[in-house]
Structure 1
Amino acid sequence: MQNAVILINAEKGQIKAVAERLAEVEGISEVYSTCGRYDLVAIARTTDFESLAELVTGRLMQVEGIRETETLNAMQVHSRHDLETMFSVGL
């Protein structure tokens, strides 16, 4: 499994439309609108690196209204939530 965080800036006035288009793209599991340096954050989850590369360099480039992206490829997960889920059997 390959996971990535994709930081996105949209064209002016296009944030909501871009977010809705991104949410329909296969491989994008969540899209968050944000305040700050980036307009949107998309979470990508793919089966392998090649699929992630196709998602970022192929499918995302077809989404109208995206001005720029920065992709952060996840290396390891560090999550209290995952540990709590694993150890909370029957609670």
Structure 2
Amino acid sequence: MITAIVMIDAATDAIGEVAQAVADLDGVSEVYSVAGDTDLVAIVRVREFEQVAEVIAGRINKVPGVLETDTHIAFRAYSRHDLEAAFSLGFDNAD
């Protein structure tokens, strides 16, 4: 799984609508409204690198009210939740 963190600058009067529209896109798992230099942070999770471009350039950037995006590709996950999920794959019914 490839994870991209997308910082989104949105039109001030449409942040809520932009957030919902982005959250509804295939490939977007979460959208957060945040304080700071950016308005929204979207988490994109896809299986192949080609899909990163499809989701961000092909979908997110075309949402009305999206002014600019800045994308960061995650190399490794360090959260306990992600690590536990990775190690438990296929073991739900092992008992």
TM-score by length of structure 2 reads 0.83
Alignment of 1:1-91 (within 5 A): 1-83=1-83, 86=87
User: How many matched pairs?
Assistant: 88
Q: Which runs of 5+ in 2 are unaligned?
A: none
Partner-residue secondary structure (3-state), 1:54: helix
2:63 is aligned with what amino acid?
Answer: V
1:59 is aligned with what amino acid?
Answer: R
> How far is the alpha carbon of 1:62 from its aligned partner?
1.6
Q: Distance in 2 between matches of 1:83 and 1:61?
A: 31
| Runs of 4+ displaced beyond 2 Å | 80-87
Q: Distance in 2 between matches of 1:84 and 1:56?
A: 28
Does the CA contact (< 8 Å) of 2:5 and 2:74 recur in 1? yes
Q: Which runs of 5+ in 1 are unaligned?
A: none
1:67 is aligned with what amino acid?
Answer: L
Q: Deviation string for 1:65-86 (max 9, x for gaps)? A: 0011100011111112334565
Identity %: 44
Partner-residue secondary structure (3-state), 2:12: coil
Indicate how the Cα distance of structure 1 residues 38 and 13 shifts in structure 2: closer, same or farther if over 3 A, else same: same
Indicate how the Cα distance of structure 1 residues 9 and 52 shifts in structure 2: closer, same or farther if over 3 A, else same: same
Q: Distance in 2 between matches of 1:27 and 1:81?
A: 20
